[in-house]
Structure 1
Protein backbone atom coordinates (compact mmCIF):
# COMPACT_ATOMS: atom_id res chain seq x y z
CA UNK A 1 0.00 0.00 0.00
CA UNK A 2 1.35 3.45 -0.92
CA UNK A 3 0.79 6.77 0.80
CA UNK A 4 -2.18 7.49 -1.44
CA UNK A 5 -3.81 4.03 -1.25
CA UNK A 6 -6.99 5.25 0.39
CA UNK A 7 -10.68 5.82 -0.19
CA UNK A 8 -12.58 9.05 0.38
CA UNK A 9 -11.73 12.13 -1.66
CA UNK A 10 -8.43 12.02 -3.51
CA UNK A 11 -7.04 15.08 -5.27
CA UNK A 12 -5.09 14.73 -8.51
CA UNK A 13 -3.25 17.95 -9.38
CA UNK A 14 -1.81 17.89 -12.87
CA UNK A 15 1.31 19.95 -13.64
CA UNK A 16 0.77 22.95 -11.30
CA UNK A 17 4.19 24.27 -12.32
CA UNK A 18 5.66 27.74 -12.61
CA UNK A 19 6.32 27.46 -16.34
CA UNK A 20 2.60 26.96 -17.00
CA UNK A 21 1.40 29.85 -14.83
CA UNK A 22 0.92 33.45 -15.97
CA UNK A 23 2.65 34.72 -12.84
CA UNK A 24 2.93 38.41 -11.98
CA UNK A 25 6.45 39.80 -12.22
CA UNK A 26 6.85 40.00 -8.45
CA UNK A 27 6.28 36.24 -8.25
CA UNK A 28 9.29 35.62 -10.47
CA UNK A 29 12.85 35.57 -9.19
CA UNK A 30 16.20 36.63 -10.55
CA UNK A 31 18.34 34.26 -12.60
CA UNK A 32 21.62 34.06 -10.66
CA UNK A 33 23.87 33.67 -13.70
CA UNK A 34 22.42 36.36 -15.96
CA UNK A 35 20.65 38.57 -13.37
CA UNK A 36 17.66 38.56 -15.70
CA UNK A 37 14.17 38.21 -14.31
CA UNK A 38 12.94 34.63 -14.55
CA UNK A 39 9.63 34.17 -16.31
CA UNK A 40 7.31 31.28 -17.14
CA UNK A 41 8.20 29.83 -20.54
CA UNK A 42 4.76 28.46 -21.44
CA UNK A 43 2.25 30.50 -19.44
CA UNK A 44 -1.41 29.57 -19.70
CA UNK A 45 -3.73 32.55 -19.43
CA UNK A 46 -5.61 32.34 -16.15
CA UNK A 47 -3.41 29.63 -14.63
CA UNK A 48 -2.08 31.77 -11.76
CA UNK A 49 -5.62 32.51 -10.59
CA UNK A 50 -6.53 28.83 -11.15
CA UNK A 51 -3.74 27.74 -8.83
CA UNK A 52 -4.63 30.31 -6.18
CA UNK A 53 -8.21 29.01 -6.18
CA UNK A 54 -6.88 25.45 -6.00
CA UNK A 55 -4.69 26.31 -3.01
CA UNK A 56 -7.70 27.80 -1.25
CA UNK A 57 -9.68 24.65 -2.04
CA UNK A 58 -6.98 22.47 -0.45
CA UNK A 59 -6.90 24.70 2.63
CA UNK A 60 -10.68 24.65 3.07
CA UNK A 61 -11.06 20.92 2.48
CA UNK A 62 -7.81 19.59 3.96
CA UNK A 63 -9.58 17.53 6.58
CA UNK A 64 -11.64 15.72 3.94
CA UNK A 65 -8.88 15.05 1.41
CA UNK A 66 -7.40 11.61 2.03
CA UNK A 67 -4.68 11.68 -0.62
CA UNK A 68 -2.96 14.12 -2.97
CA UNK A 69 -1.09 13.24 -6.16
CA UNK A 70 0.86 15.92 -8.03
CA UNK A 71 2.12 15.23 -11.53
CA UNK A 72 5.19 17.10 -12.77
CA UNK A 73 6.00 17.68 -16.41
CA UNK A 74 9.74 16.96 -16.47
CA UNK A 75 11.79 17.54 -19.61
CA UNK A 76 15.33 17.67 -20.87
CA UNK A 77 16.38 20.61 -23.04
CA UNK A 78 17.00 18.08 -25.84
CA UNK A 79 13.51 16.78 -26.50
CA UNK A 80 11.54 15.87 -29.62
CA UNK A 81 9.03 18.59 -28.72
CA UNK A 82 11.61 21.35 -28.10
CA UNK A 83 13.16 23.71 -30.69
CA UNK A 84 16.75 22.49 -30.25
CA UNK A 85 15.81 19.07 -31.61
CA UNK A 86 14.86 20.48 -35.04
CA UNK A 87 16.09 22.61 -37.94
CA UNK A 88 14.46 23.94 -41.10
CA UNK A 89 15.33 22.87 -44.64
CA UNK A 90 17.77 25.80 -44.78
CA UNK A 91 19.32 24.85 -41.44
CA UNK A 92 17.58 27.59 -39.47
CA UNK A 93 15.95 27.52 -36.06
CA UNK A 94 12.45 26.12 -35.61
CA UNK A 95 10.33 28.53 -33.60
CA UNK A 96 8.11 27.48 -30.70
CA UNK A 97 4.48 26.64 -31.50
CA UNK A 98 5.45 25.14 -34.85
CA UNK A 99 3.46 22.00 -35.67
CA UNK A 100 5.43 19.43 -37.66
CA UNK A 101 4.00 16.48 -39.58
CA UNK A 102 5.72 13.32 -40.69
CA UNK A 103 5.05 14.36 -44.30
CA UNK A 104 6.97 17.59 -43.76
CA UNK A 105 9.92 15.66 -42.35
CA UNK A 106 9.89 13.28 -45.31
CA UNK A 107 9.82 16.22 -47.71
CA UNK A 108 12.73 17.87 -45.91
CA UNK A 109 10.84 20.96 -44.72
CA UNK A 110 11.96 20.07 -41.19
CA UNK A 111 14.71 17.73 -40.07
CA UNK A 112 16.08 16.50 -36.77
CA UNK A 113 19.46 18.07 -36.11
CA UNK A 114 20.82 14.57 -35.58
CA UNK A 115 19.97 13.00 -38.92
CA UNK A 116 21.01 9.58 -37.63
CA UNK A 117 17.77 9.64 -35.62
CA UNK A 118 15.45 10.32 -38.56
CA UNK A 119 14.09 6.77 -38.87
CA UNK A 120 13.28 6.68 -35.17
CA UNK A 121 11.68 10.12 -35.31
CA UNK A 122 9.52 9.23 -38.31
CA UNK A 123 8.38 5.99 -36.71
CA UNK A 124 7.34 7.99 -33.65
CA UNK A 125 5.53 10.65 -35.66
CA UNK A 126 3.69 8.06 -37.76
CA UNK A 127 2.51 6.31 -34.61
CA UNK A 128 1.49 9.60 -32.98
CA UNK A 129 -0.48 10.80 -36.00
CA UNK A 130 -2.21 7.45 -36.47
CA UNK A 131 -3.84 7.81 -33.05
CA UNK A 132 -5.59 11.02 -34.05
CA UNK A 133 -5.10 12.66 -30.64
CA UNK A 134 -2.20 15.03 -31.21
CA UNK A 135 0.23 16.19 -33.88
CA UNK A 136 3.83 16.87 -32.94
CA UNK A 137 4.08 20.42 -31.57
CA UNK A 138 7.38 22.21 -30.96
CA UNK A 139 6.85 23.91 -27.59
CA UNK A 140 9.10 26.45 -25.90
CA UNK A 141 11.63 24.74 -23.64
CA UNK A 142 9.58 24.21 -20.49
CA UNK A 143 9.65 22.39 -17.17
CA UNK A 144 13.34 21.63 -17.61
CA UNK A 145 14.36 19.30 -14.80
CA UNK A 146 15.97 21.27 -11.98
CA UNK A 147 14.85 24.68 -13.23
CA UNK A 148 12.67 27.27 -11.48
CA UNK A 149 10.00 26.63 -14.08
CA UNK A 150 9.83 22.96 -13.07
CA UNK A 151 8.79 23.93 -9.54
CA UNK A 152 5.26 23.90 -8.15
CA UNK A 153 3.25 27.13 -7.91
CA UNK A 154 4.09 28.61 -4.49
CA UNK A 155 0.52 28.78 -3.14
CA UNK A 156 -0.26 25.22 -4.18
CA UNK A 157 3.00 24.00 -2.66
CA UNK A 158 2.29 25.75 0.64
CA UNK A 159 -1.25 24.34 0.82
CA UNK A 160 -0.01 20.82 0.08
CA UNK A 161 2.81 21.17 2.63
CA UNK A 162 0.27 22.08 5.31
CA UNK A 163 -1.92 19.13 4.28
CA UNK A 164 1.04 16.76 4.63
CA UNK A 165 1.80 17.89 8.17
CA UNK A 166 -1.86 17.77 9.19
CA UNK A 167 -2.26 14.21 7.87
CA UNK A 168 1.25 12.87 8.57
CA UNK A 169 1.23 11.68 5.00
CA UNK A 170 3.36 12.53 1.97
CA UNK A 171 2.09 13.88 -1.32
CA UNK A 172 2.72 11.47 -4.18
CA UNK A 173 4.79 13.08 -6.95
CA UNK A 174 4.57 11.57 -10.44
CA UNK A 175 7.24 12.66 -12.92
CA UNK A 176 6.42 12.45 -16.62
CA UNK A 177 8.15 13.47 -19.83
CA UNK A 178 11.76 12.61 -19.05
CA UNK A 179 12.15 10.46 -22.17
CA UNK A 180 13.21 12.85 -24.99
CA UNK A 181 11.84 10.63 -27.77
CA UNK A 182 8.13 10.76 -26.98
CA UNK A 183 5.57 13.26 -25.75
CA UNK A 184 4.02 12.60 -22.36
CA UNK A 185 0.99 14.82 -21.89
CA UNK A 186 -0.68 12.15 -19.78
CA UNK A 187 0.55 11.09 -16.36
CA UNK A 188 -0.76 7.62 -17.11
CA UNK A 189 1.20 6.81 -20.28
CA UNK A 190 3.31 8.44 -22.96
CA UNK A 191 1.44 9.24 -26.16
CA UNK A 192 3.62 6.61 -27.89
CA UNK A 193 5.32 4.38 -25.32
CA UNK A 194 8.99 3.62 -25.90
CA UNK A 195 9.47 -0.19 -25.67
CA UNK A 196 12.94 0.38 -24.23
CA UNK A 197 11.68 2.63 -21.41
CA UNK A 198 9.20 1.14 -18.91
CA UNK A 199 8.51 4.61 -17.49
CA UNK A 200 6.66 5.51 -20.69
CA UNK A 201 4.32 2.52 -20.40
CA UNK A 202 0.96 2.53 -18.61
CA UNK A 203 1.36 3.39 -14.92
CA UNK A 204 -0.94 0.68 -13.62
CA UNK A 205 -0.06 1.14 -9.91
CA UNK A 206 -1.06 4.80 -10.13
CA UNK A 207 -4.32 3.91 -11.86
CA UNK A 208 -5.18 1.33 -9.21
CA UNK A 209 -4.48 3.75 -6.38
CA UNK A 210 -6.61 6.47 -7.97
CA UNK A 211 -9.40 3.92 -8.44
CA UNK A 212 -9.67 3.51 -4.67
CA UNK A 213 -11.00 7.03 -4.28
CA UNK A 214 -14.72 7.35 -3.67
CA UNK A 215 -14.35 10.68 -5.45
CA UNK A 216 -11.35 11.62 -7.60
CA UNK A 217 -11.05 15.40 -7.83
CA UNK A 218 -8.94 16.63 -10.74
CA UNK A 219 -7.42 20.07 -11.35
CA UNK A 220 -4.32 21.51 -12.99
CA UNK A 221 -2.84 22.78 -16.25
CA UNK A 222 -3.51 22.75 -19.05
CA UNK A 223 -7.05 21.55 -19.63
CA UNK A 224 -6.47 21.32 -23.39
CA UNK A 225 -3.49 19.00 -23.07
CA UNK A 226 -2.15 17.38 -19.89
CA UNK A 227 -5.34 17.49 -17.82
CA UNK A 228 -7.32 16.28 -20.80
CA UNK A 229 -4.94 13.49 -21.75
CA UNK A 230 -4.52 12.21 -18.18
CA UNK A 231 -8.26 12.22 -17.50
CA UNK A 232 -9.06 10.53 -20.80
CA UNK A 233 -6.57 7.75 -20.08
CA UNK A 234 -8.04 7.23 -16.60
CA UNK A 235 -11.56 6.97 -18.02
CA UNK A 236 -10.45 4.67 -20.84
CA UNK A 237 -8.30 2.30 -18.80
CA UNK A 238 -9.74 2.02 -15.30
CA UNK A 239 -12.98 0.16 -16.15
CA UNK A 240 -10.88 -2.67 -17.59
CA UNK A 241 -8.75 -2.85 -14.44
CA UNK A 242 -11.45 -2.31 -11.80
CA UNK A 243 -14.86 -3.78 -12.64
CA UNK A 244 -17.64 -1.38 -11.80
CA UNK A 245 -15.46 1.72 -11.85
CA UNK A 246 -17.03 4.56 -13.85
CA UNK A 247 -16.31 8.18 -14.71
CA UNK A 248 -19.04 9.15 -12.25
CA UNK A 249 -16.35 9.04 -9.55
CA UNK A 250 -14.51 11.94 -11.17
CA UNK A 251 -15.05 15.61 -10.35
CA UNK A 252 -13.31 18.20 -12.53
CA UNK A 253 -12.65 21.56 -10.87
CA UNK A 254 -13.37 23.71 -13.89
CA UNK A 255 -12.26 26.96 -12.21
CA UNK A 256 -8.88 25.39 -11.41
CA UNK A 257 -7.81 24.63 -14.99
CA UNK A 258 -7.41 26.59 -18.25
CA UNK A 259 -6.47 25.76 -21.85
CA UNK A 260 -3.37 26.71 -23.80
CA UNK A 261 -4.18 29.74 -25.91
CA UNK A 262 -5.61 28.71 -29.27
CA UNK A 263 -6.88 25.38 -27.91
CA UNK A 264 -10.08 26.61 -26.31
CA UNK A 265 -12.21 24.31 -28.47
CA UNK A 266 -10.26 21.28 -27.23
CA UNK A 267 -10.92 22.44 -23.66
CA UNK A 268 -14.66 22.74 -24.32
CA UNK A 269 -14.86 19.38 -26.10
CA UNK A 270 -12.97 17.68 -23.25
CA UNK A 271 -15.33 18.99 -20.57
CA UNK A 272 -18.38 18.10 -22.63
CA UNK A 273 -17.17 14.56 -23.27
CA UNK A 274 -16.35 13.95 -19.61
CA UNK A 275 -19.73 15.31 -18.53
CA UNK A 276 -21.42 13.02 -21.05
CA UNK A 277 -19.57 10.05 -19.55
CA UNK A 278 -20.82 10.96 -16.08
CA UNK A 279 -18.05 13.06 -14.57
CA UNK A 280 -19.13 16.00 -12.43
CA UNK A 281 -18.08 19.50 -13.48
CA UNK A 282 -17.79 21.75 -10.44
CA UNK A 283 -16.50 25.11 -9.27
CA UNK A 284 -14.11 24.79 -6.34
CA UNK A 285 -16.16 26.91 -3.87
CA UNK A 286 -19.13 24.54 -4.26
CA UNK A 287 -17.29 21.49 -2.91
Structure 2
Protein backbone atom coordinates (compact mmCIF):
# COMPACT_ATOMS: atom_id res chain seq x y z
CA UNK A 1 0.00 0.00 0.00
CA UNK A 2 1.13 3.61 -0.55
CA UNK A 3 2.88 5.27 2.41
CA UNK A 4 0.48 8.23 2.18
CA UNK A 5 -3.34 8.16 2.30
CA UNK A 6 -5.14 8.10 -1.04
CA UNK A 7 -7.41 11.06 -1.80
CA UNK A 8 -10.98 10.13 -2.77
CA UNK A 9 -12.98 12.66 -4.77
CA UNK A 10 -16.08 10.72 -5.82
CA UNK A 11 -18.26 7.66 -5.32
CA UNK A 12 -16.48 6.11 -8.30
CA UNK A 13 -13.10 6.57 -6.63
CA UNK A 14 -14.45 5.12 -3.39
CA UNK A 15 -15.87 2.08 -5.19
CA UNK A 16 -12.54 1.51 -6.96
CA UNK A 17 -10.68 1.60 -3.63
CA UNK A 18 -13.14 -0.89 -2.10
CA UNK A 19 -12.78 -3.26 -5.03
CA UNK A 20 -8.99 -3.04 -4.83
CA UNK A 21 -8.94 -4.02 -1.15
CA UNK A 22 -11.36 -6.91 -1.76
CA UNK A 23 -9.40 -8.35 -4.68
CA UNK A 24 -6.05 -8.38 -2.86
CA UNK A 25 -4.92 -11.79 -1.62
CA UNK A 26 -5.10 -11.75 1.31
CA UNK A 27 -7.73 -9.01 1.50
CA UNK A 28 -6.71 -5.86 3.28
CA UNK A 29 -8.57 -3.56 5.70
CA UNK A 30 -9.27 0.06 4.86
CA UNK A 31 -9.46 3.21 6.99
CA UNK A 32 -11.01 6.42 5.71
CA UNK A 33 -10.76 9.88 7.22
CA UNK A 34 -13.75 12.08 6.41
CA UNK A 35 -12.81 15.71 6.85
CA UNK A 36 -13.29 19.28 5.67
CA UNK A 37 -10.44 21.75 5.10
CA UNK A 38 -11.98 24.31 7.43
CA UNK A 39 -12.05 21.82 10.33
CA UNK A 40 -9.38 22.71 12.93
CA UNK A 41 -9.59 19.26 14.53
CA UNK A 42 -8.70 17.71 11.19
CA UNK A 43 -5.66 19.96 10.88
CA UNK A 44 -4.53 18.78 14.31
CA UNK A 45 -5.05 15.12 13.39
CA UNK A 46 -3.48 15.25 9.92
CA UNK A 47 0.16 14.62 11.00
CA UNK A 48 -0.90 11.72 13.24
CA UNK A 49 -2.98 10.17 10.45
CA UNK A 50 -0.10 10.44 7.99
CA UNK A 51 2.25 8.85 10.52
CA UNK A 52 -0.22 6.02 11.11
CA UNK A 53 -0.43 5.36 7.37
CA UNK A 54 3.37 5.20 7.18
CA UNK A 55 3.45 2.71 10.08
CA UNK A 56 0.77 0.42 8.64
CA UNK A 57 1.75 -0.51 5.06
CA UNK A 58 -0.76 -3.40 4.99
CA UNK A 59 -3.76 -1.15 5.60
CA UNK A 60 -5.24 1.11 2.92
CA UNK A 61 -5.72 4.66 4.22
CA UNK A 62 -7.99 7.15 2.47
CA UNK A 63 -8.79 10.87 2.73
CA UNK A 64 -12.34 11.92 1.86
CA UNK A 65 -12.94 15.67 1.67
CA UNK A 66 -16.68 16.04 2.32
CA UNK A 67 -16.51 19.68 1.25
CA UNK A 68 -16.09 18.30 -2.27
CA UNK A 69 -19.62 17.93 -3.72
CA UNK A 70 -18.84 14.61 -5.40
CA UNK A 71 -17.23 13.17 -2.25
CA UNK A 72 -20.06 14.39 -0.01
CA UNK A 73 -22.12 11.38 -1.07
CA UNK A 74 -19.49 8.98 0.26
CA UNK A 75 -19.85 10.49 3.72
CA UNK A 76 -23.63 10.21 3.48
CA UNK A 77 -23.23 6.55 2.61
CA UNK A 78 -21.52 5.96 5.97
CA UNK A 79 -23.78 8.35 7.90
CA UNK A 80 -20.92 10.69 8.74
CA UNK A 81 -21.97 13.48 11.11
CA UNK A 82 -20.60 16.65 9.54
CA UNK A 83 -20.67 18.37 12.93
CA UNK A 84 -18.18 15.78 14.27
CA UNK A 85 -15.33 15.96 11.80
CA UNK A 86 -12.93 14.44 11.32
CA UNK A 87 -14.62 11.04 11.36
CA UNK A 88 -12.60 7.85 10.86
CA UNK A 89 -14.30 4.77 9.44
CA UNK A 90 -12.70 1.35 9.28
CA UNK A 91 -13.97 -1.21 6.78
CA UNK A 92 -13.08 -4.74 5.83
CA UNK A 93 -14.43 -6.64 2.84
CA UNK A 94 -16.68 -3.67 2.12
CA UNK A 95 -18.39 -3.78 5.52
CA UNK A 96 -18.13 -0.90 8.01
CA UNK A 97 -16.31 -2.14 11.10
CA UNK A 98 -15.64 0.83 13.39
CA UNK A 99 -16.18 4.58 13.52
CA UNK A 100 -14.28 7.17 15.57
CA UNK A 101 -15.22 10.84 15.70
CA UNK A 102 -13.05 13.81 16.61
CA UNK A 103 -9.37 13.96 17.51
CA UNK A 104 -8.98 10.92 19.76
CA UNK A 105 -5.64 9.55 18.57
CA UNK A 106 -5.68 6.52 20.85
CA UNK A 107 -9.17 5.52 19.70
CA UNK A 108 -8.12 5.75 16.04
CA UNK A 109 -4.97 3.67 16.64
CA UNK A 110 -7.00 1.10 18.58
CA UNK A 111 -9.54 0.97 15.76
CA UNK A 112 -6.77 0.15 13.30
CA UNK A 113 -5.46 -2.61 15.60
CA UNK A 114 -8.91 -4.15 16.04
CA UNK A 115 -9.55 -3.90 12.32
CA UNK A 116 -6.32 -5.76 11.57
CA UNK A 117 -7.19 -8.47 14.08
CA UNK A 118 -10.58 -9.00 12.46
CA UNK A 119 -9.17 -8.91 8.94
CA UNK A 120 -6.19 -11.16 9.63
CA UNK A 121 -7.77 -13.55 12.12
CA UNK A 122 -6.01 -16.88 11.90
CA UNK A 123 -8.10 -19.73 10.49
CA UNK A 124 -8.55 -22.75 12.81
CA UNK A 125 -5.90 -24.72 10.91
CA UNK A 126 -3.32 -21.98 11.52
CA UNK A 127 -4.31 -21.74 15.18
CA UNK A 128 -3.63 -25.46 15.50
CA UNK A 129 -0.25 -25.14 13.80
CA UNK A 130 0.60 -22.29 16.19
CA UNK A 131 -0.45 -24.37 19.21
CA UNK A 132 1.66 -27.29 17.97
CA UNK A 133 4.57 -24.91 17.50
CA UNK A 134 4.19 -23.55 21.02
CA UNK A 135 4.16 -27.08 22.41
CA UNK A 136 7.30 -28.04 20.47
CA UNK A 137 9.03 -24.83 21.58
CA UNK A 138 8.21 -25.55 25.24
CA UNK A 139 9.77 -28.98 24.77
CA UNK A 140 12.86 -27.37 23.17
CA UNK A 141 12.13 -29.10 19.87
CA UNK A 142 13.02 -26.01 17.91
CA UNK A 143 13.16 -27.54 14.42
CA UNK A 144 9.67 -28.93 14.93
CA UNK A 145 8.47 -25.58 16.28
CA UNK A 146 9.85 -23.82 13.19
CA UNK A 147 8.06 -26.29 10.92
CA UNK A 148 4.74 -25.72 12.69
CA UNK A 149 5.07 -21.93 12.69
CA UNK A 150 6.03 -22.02 9.00
CA UNK A 151 2.90 -24.07 8.24
CA UNK A 152 0.80 -21.51 10.13
CA UNK A 153 2.42 -18.64 8.22
CA UNK A 154 1.39 -20.16 4.88
CA UNK A 155 -2.23 -20.03 6.12
CA UNK A 156 -2.03 -16.65 7.89
CA UNK A 157 0.82 -14.71 6.25
CA UNK A 158 0.05 -11.39 7.95
CA UNK A 159 0.03 -12.58 11.55
CA UNK A 160 2.96 -10.93 13.31
CA UNK A 161 3.06 -13.30 16.29
CA UNK A 162 3.84 -16.26 14.02
CA UNK A 163 6.97 -14.57 12.66
CA UNK A 164 7.90 -13.52 16.20
CA UNK A 165 7.61 -17.09 17.45
CA UNK A 166 9.55 -18.49 14.52
CA UNK A 167 12.28 -15.87 15.02
CA UNK A 168 12.88 -16.84 18.65
CA UNK A 169 12.83 -20.52 17.64
CA UNK A 170 15.61 -19.88 15.12
CA UNK A 171 17.60 -17.98 17.76
CA UNK A 172 17.22 -20.74 20.34
CA UNK A 173 18.24 -23.33 17.75
CA UNK A 174 21.33 -21.30 16.82
CA UNK A 175 22.49 -21.47 20.45
CA UNK A 176 22.45 -25.28 20.66
CA UNK A 177 25.73 -27.16 20.54
CA UNK A 178 24.35 -29.51 17.87
CA UNK A 179 23.81 -26.57 15.53
CA UNK A 180 27.51 -25.73 15.60
CA UNK A 181 28.25 -29.15 14.17
CA UNK A 182 26.08 -28.47 11.11
CA UNK A 183 27.75 -27.95 7.74
CA UNK A 184 28.00 -24.23 6.84
CA UNK A 185 25.65 -24.87 3.90
CA UNK A 186 23.04 -26.52 6.12
CA UNK A 187 19.84 -24.56 6.74
CA UNK A 188 20.35 -25.32 10.45
CA UNK A 189 23.83 -23.84 10.71
CA UNK A 190 23.88 -21.14 13.45
CA UNK A 191 24.75 -18.33 11.04
CA UNK A 192 21.86 -19.25 8.74
CA UNK A 193 19.49 -19.56 11.68
CA UNK A 194 20.49 -16.11 12.92
CA UNK A 195 19.94 -14.70 9.44
CA UNK A 196 16.48 -16.25 9.23
CA UNK A 197 15.64 -14.98 12.70
CA UNK A 198 16.59 -11.46 11.62
CA UNK A 199 14.44 -11.78 8.51
CA UNK A 200 11.46 -12.87 10.60
CA UNK A 201 12.08 -10.05 13.09
CA UNK A 202 11.97 -7.58 10.20
CA UNK A 203 8.65 -9.10 9.11
CA UNK A 204 7.23 -8.61 12.62
CA UNK A 205 8.16 -4.91 12.51
CA UNK A 206 6.70 -4.58 9.03
CA UNK A 207 3.39 -6.15 10.09
CA UNK A 208 2.96 -4.47 13.46
CA UNK A 209 5.38 -1.62 14.06
CA UNK A 210 3.43 -0.46 17.14
CA UNK A 211 3.74 -3.83 18.94
CA UNK A 212 6.38 -3.60 21.66
CA UNK A 213 7.34 -7.25 21.37
CA UNK A 214 8.18 -6.70 17.71
CA UNK A 215 11.00 -4.39 18.77
CA UNK A 216 12.19 -6.87 21.40
CA UNK A 217 12.48 -9.56 18.73
CA UNK A 218 14.32 -7.18 16.43
CA UNK A 219 16.78 -6.31 19.19
CA UNK A 220 17.30 -9.98 20.08
CA UNK A 221 18.07 -10.78 16.45
CA UNK A 222 20.52 -7.87 16.28
CA UNK A 223 22.27 -9.00 19.46
CA UNK A 224 22.57 -12.56 18.14
CA UNK A 225 24.03 -11.17 14.93
CA UNK A 226 27.01 -9.83 16.88
CA UNK A 227 28.44 -13.35 16.78
CA UNK A 228 28.68 -13.17 13.01
CA UNK A 229 30.58 -9.88 13.32
CA UNK A 230 32.96 -11.46 15.83
CA UNK A 231 33.52 -14.44 13.52
CA UNK A 232 34.17 -12.25 10.48
CA UNK A 233 37.65 -11.82 9.04
CA UNK A 234 38.23 -8.07 9.41
CA UNK A 235 40.50 -5.60 11.14
CA UNK A 236 40.05 -5.54 14.95
CA UNK A 237 39.15 -1.85 15.03
CA UNK A 238 36.50 -2.30 12.32
CA UNK A 239 35.13 -5.32 14.15
CA UNK A 240 34.87 -3.35 17.40
CA UNK A 241 33.14 -0.49 15.58
CA UNK A 242 30.53 -2.84 14.09
CA UNK A 243 29.90 -4.55 17.42
CA UNK A 244 29.27 -1.12 18.98
CA UNK A 245 26.94 -0.25 16.12
CA UNK A 246 24.92 -3.42 16.65
CA UNK A 247 24.84 -2.95 20.43
CA UNK A 248 23.76 0.69 20.18
CA UNK A 249 21.06 -0.25 17.67
CA UNK A 250 19.74 -2.98 19.95
CA UNK A 251 19.68 -0.59 22.92
CA UNK A 252 17.62 1.87 20.87
CA UNK A 253 15.23 -0.87 19.74
CA UNK A 254 14.71 -2.02 23.34
CA UNK A 255 14.01 1.55 24.39
CA UNK A 256 11.32 1.69 21.71
CA UNK A 257 9.93 -1.63 22.94
CA UNK A 258 9.72 -0.35 26.52
CA UNK A 259 7.81 2.74 25.39
CA UNK A 260 5.27 0.63 23.50
CA UNK A 261 4.86 -2.16 26.05
CA UNK A 262 3.37 -2.77 29.45
CA UNK A 263 3.78 -5.43 32.13
CA UNK A 264 5.91 -8.48 31.33
CA UNK A 265 7.00 -7.33 27.86
CA UNK A 266 8.09 -3.94 29.15
CA UNK A 267 10.05 -5.54 32.00
CA UNK A 268 11.71 -7.91 29.51
CA UNK A 269 12.73 -5.03 27.25
CA UNK A 270 14.08 -2.95 30.13
CA UNK A 271 16.03 -5.91 31.55
CA UNK A 272 17.68 -6.62 28.18
CA UNK A 273 18.46 -2.93 27.74
CA UNK A 274 20.07 -2.70 31.19
CA UNK A 275 22.17 -5.79 30.47
CA UNK A 276 23.51 -4.22 27.28
CA UNK A 277 24.17 -0.88 28.95
CA UNK A 278 25.98 -2.58 31.85
CA UNK A 279 28.16 -4.43 29.37
CA UNK A 280 28.99 -1.31 27.38
- Does the pair score TM above 0.5? no
Which structure is larger by alpha-carbon Rg, 1 or 2?
2
TM-score, length basis structure 2? 0.31
More helix by share: 2
With the length of structure 1 as denominator, give the TM-score of the two structures. 0.31
